[in-house]
Amino acid sequence: MQIISTTAALTAAIDEAKKAHKTIGLVPTMGALHEGHLSLIRRARKENDMVVVSIFVNPIQFNNKEDLAKYPRTVENDCQLVEETGADIAFTPTVEEMYPDGEPKVTYHFGPIEEVMEGPRRPGHFSGVAVVVRRLFDLTQPTRAYFGEKDFQQIAIIRNLLEQIKYPIELIPCPIVRADDGLALSSRNMRLSPEARAIAPEIYATLQQAVEMSEYEDVDSVCTWVVDTLGSFHEVNELPNGLRFEPEYFEIVDDTTLQPVDDWEASPTGIVGCIAVWLDGVRLIDVIRFRPVAE
Ligand code: PAF
């Protein structure tokens, strides 16, 4: 495996692969790799002649400076994992290499799909994601690009970006990978204290119960129940040291338009619930499918 940190060297490697008519799979990451990322790399490995994994903490998608400063950076370990998982190139550029002319001025707009959930709470986030993803697309010219479904809204944004820029890239959404106790894997999990990590699986457990409830309760009641259950968990369980869940949002939405639904039959394609919860100073997100119900 090659570790490449300049765009010139990456372009040279891609040009060579293109000349040999190789298919290219791109797995964009911000590093701090875990099993979730590795599942994307494995899938890309199966489906492409060449696999590029980018490792770049993209400053322009952080609307919170502290979150950017605290974002885990483990690039040496990441490169080792990328190699063990069978990728051909780990692309590890600096900020200057990615944005040689300084912070890009371009902004992207996505209409209603960015006006819900993460969009209003993280102004500029999705435009920042789109800028870096487009840059990675330009540099790697992938046949396929792999994204995890934990960032459910991000996938809809990238799909929309591909429609806007008309690149013939196949977007491959990949299922969430969970720890044995159900917690969705995330690079941010490593910032949880042992006490917080021990209760974090409550998020997924609550979402699973919500799916059961959806068989006999309406959308609004399920929504309120999830927020109340997590929001009062510290009281019911007498947690120490001010430890508590603080739900930022839980929205039950159409899985294509991402607009909130008010009825379980409201969507022709499917319905998911998306949540963001603060725990121990860490913002965790998760997604659960309500409809169609798994067989
Ligand atoms: O999902 C992520 O890790 C990031 O948003 C991405 C797609 C790598 C862009 O920086």
Q: Which tokens is 197 given? A: 């990590």
If you measure from the C-alpha of residue 225 to the centroid of ligand 1, how many angstroms do you get, rounded to a whole number?
A: 31
Total-model pTM: 0.97
Q: What is the pLDDT of residue 42?
A: 98
Active-site residue, from 37, 109, 125, 234: 37
> What pLDDT score does 293 carry?
80
Instruction: Give per-10-residue mean pLDDT for the chain (295 aa).
Output: 98 98 98 98 98 98 94 97 98 98 97 98 97 98 98 98 98 98 97 97 98 98 98 95 96 98 96 98 97 82
Question: Of 52, 58, 177, which is best to mutate to test ligand 1, by the most ligand atoms within 8 angstroms of its C-beta?
Answer: 58
Secondary element (H or E) of residue 279 = strand 271-279
Supply the pLDDT for residue 43: 98
In the numeric block, the tokens 């959308």 are attached to 219
**In angstroms, rounded to a whole number, what is the distance separating the alpha carbons of residues 287 and 147?**
14
Whether 34 is catalytic is no
Angle at alpha carbon of residue 222, lines to 220 and 228, rounded to 5°: 100
Residue 51: how many CA atoms within 13 Å on its side-chain side? 23
CA 181 to ligand 1 center in whole angstroms: 25
Q: Is the C-beta atom of 81 inside 6 A of ligand 1? A: no
Angle CA(50)–CA(51)–CA(54) in degrees, nearest 5?
A: 145
Residue 31 structure tokens: 């590093």
Query: Residue 132: CB within 6 Å of ligand 1?
Result: yes
Residue with the nearest Cα to atom 9 of ligand 1? 129
| CA 83 vs CA 2, 80, 87, 171, 265: distances in Å | 9, 5, 6, 23, 45
131, β-bridge pairs: none
Question: Concatenated DSSP letters for 217-273?
Answer: S-HHHHHHHHHHHHHTHHHHTT-STT--EEEEEEEEEETTT--B-SSTT--SS-EEE
CA distance 211 to 216: 10
What pLDDT, on a 0 to 100 scale, did the predictor assign at position 295? 67
H or E segment and range at residue 286: strand 282-291
* Matching residue, tokens 């996505």: 110
